[in-house]
């Protein structure tokens, strides 16, 4: 009887111990305060300091930043807070993908 209970318990332990797989998300932020060549550099640096950010593309002409991040380590609020703290308030354009 002990052997019969051991296998299901081992299986359950393995299932529970598997880490949750995080998803990579991409969001576009509107950053209307960018108005010079130095602004995108500042925004990119600020976003790059957020843990979980994998890639950041900042476009001065569109006044937007597209950010790819690990949703287990970062979230949209952290991204918008980073731009705000750098002096460039931002808002989400569309939806998080």
Exposed e or buried b for every residue in 57-89, given b needs 16+ CB within 10 A? ebebeebbbbbbbeeeebbbeebbebbeebebe
pTM for this model (two decimals) = 0.77
pLDDT of 5 reads 54
Cα within 13 Å of Cα(12), Cβ side: 5
User: The tokens of 58 are what?
Assistant: 């900042």
User: The tokens of 29 are what?
Assistant: 């932020």
Segments of the chain scoring below 70 in pLDDT: 1-22
What structural domains does the chain harbor? 20-93 (3.30.70.100)
pLDDT of 96 reads 79
Q: What angle do CA 37, 39, 43 make, to 5 degrees?
A: 140
pLDDT of 11 reads 57
pLDDT of 18 reads 45
Strands of 64-70's sheet in order across: 53-59, 64-70, 24-30, 91-93
pLDDT of 77 reads 97
């Amino acid at each position: 009887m002990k052997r019969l209970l051991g296998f299901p318990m081992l299986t359950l332990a393995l299932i529970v111990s598997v880490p949750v797989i995080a998803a990579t998300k991409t969001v576009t932020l509107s950053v209307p305060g960018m108005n010079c060549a130095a602004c995108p550099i500042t925004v990119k640096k600020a976003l790059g300091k957020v843990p979980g950010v994998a890639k950041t593309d900042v476009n001065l002409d569109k006044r937007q930043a597209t950010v790819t991040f690990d949703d287990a380590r970062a979230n949209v609020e952290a991204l918008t807070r980073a731009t705000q703290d750098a002096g460039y308030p931002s808002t989400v354009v569309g939806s998080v993908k």
